[in-house]
Amino acid sequence: MKLKQRVVLLVALLLLLGLGKIFLLDGSEGTAASRRDLRAFRKMEAGLTLSRAAQLTHTLQSPWEIASQWVGPREVYPEETPELAAVLTSLSTARIERADVGYKGTQLKALLVLDGGQKVVFKPKRYNRDYVVEGEPYAGYDRHNAEVAAFHLDRILGFRRAPLVVGRFVNLLTDIKPVATDQLLSTFLTQGNNTCFYGKCYYCRESEPACGVGESMEGSVTLWLPDVWPLQKHRHPWGRTYREGKLARWEYDESYCEAVKKMPPYDAGPRLLDVIDTSIFDYLIGNADRHHYESFQDDGGASMLILLDNAKSFGNAALDERSILAPLYQCCMVRLSTWNRLNLLRSRSLSAALRQALTFDPLQPVLAEPHLVALDRRLAGVIATVKQCIESQGPDNTLIEDRINLPHP
C-alpha cells in the first residue's frame, strides 16, 4: 500500500473513531461504552413507572434498612431498585413519631421522625403549581414539588446521587402537633381557618408562615442519609456572591476552569466531572442556588457530589439561566456516559420520561406543563453547548471516559 493511501486510511479511521464518540449508535453498532450506556438507559426506561400499591413482601427488613444498604460512595441508590416504589410509599404514609424544627439553613423545613426511627426532612408547600417566581434565578421560597421532580430527574439522567424524595400530605393537628417539640409548637398559628407554622431558620418569619388548607398541608419528604455516611460541606467553585455589583471570578474570567483544575479535589479524581454533571442537572431544573455542595467525609475526593437541596428549582419556566452551565462551557468537558444519556433523552423526549415518572407521586400533577416543556428546550441547549466544545476542543478532549464503581462497604 502506497504511503498516500495509508495516510488516507489512517485519517478515515481517526474520523470514524471521533464520530463514534460524538454520535451515539444503536446497541449493535456503537462502541462498547455506547452499548453499555444504551443498556443502562433501557433499564431506566423499564423501571420508570412505579406502582402506587407497592409493598415489601419478600423481606423482613424495614424500608429504611433497605434504603440504607443502597448507599455507596458513588450512588445513593443502585441502578436496579425493585423495592423503590415500596420505600417511597412508606415515606409518604408511615406514622410520624416526632416533629421538630428543621436543621440549620435559610429556608423553612421540619425534621420528622417516622415509625421505626427514620429521620426525614419535610418541606411545606409555598406556591401553587402555576406560580411564576420572578426576579433573580435564585429568588423565592423553596419549592417542595421541585424536590420531588428533581429526584426523578436524577433517576432519568442515571446519576443516582439525589436522596429519595416523595410528596406527602400531613394533618397538622393530628399528625404533627401531638408529637411536636415545644420549639416547633411555638411557631404554630392560625390564619383564618388554616393552620400554619413558620419554624426556625435564617429567613423564617412569623409574618411569612407556611399554611395548610384547613388542617391539611402538602409537602415533600426527603429521606435522611444514613448516619454511617457523614457529610462534608464544600463551597461550590462556581458559587455566586449574592451581592449586587460584585461578581465571582468565574463570571468574568473565561479561563477560570484552568485555575480550578489545580485545586484539590478538582485536580484529580471524579469531582470536577461531578460538578459539570451537576451544572447540567441544575440547568435543566433551573437551579441557580447551589452555592455549596456535600460529599461524604474522608473520601479522598472519590465520593460523589450529592444532589441535596434542589428546592430552588422549577420557579420560572421561561427563564433559561445559561450561567448555571458555566462549569460545562468553561471547562469544555463532560462524561461520555452523560453525553450518551443526553442524546438518548433527546431522541426519546426528556419531558415525556419525567411526566411518566411523576405519575407515581401522591402530589400528581407535580409540575405545571410549562416546566416540562422547558426541560426539552434546555436539554437542546446543553447538547448545543457540548457540540460547540467538541468543535473547538475535539471529541477526545471533550468527552471523557470516567466510570468509577467503588465497592459498597
Kindly list the catalytic residues: 289
Residue (of 379, 334, 318) closest to 352 by Cα position = 379
Cell digits for 53? 400499591
Bond before 226 cis per omega within 30 degrees: no
Cβ-contact 345, 402 below 8 angstroms: no
Alpha-carbon separation of residue 2 from 6, 7, 14 (angstroms)? 6, 9, 19
Answer left, alpha or beta for residue 309, where phi above 0 means left and psi between -120 and 50 means alpha.
Answer: left
270: CB partners within 8 A, 6+ apart: 74, 301, 302, 304, 402, 404
Residue (of 93, 145, 107, 397) closest to 261 by Cα position = 397
Q: Please, which residues bridge with residue 152 across strands?
A: none
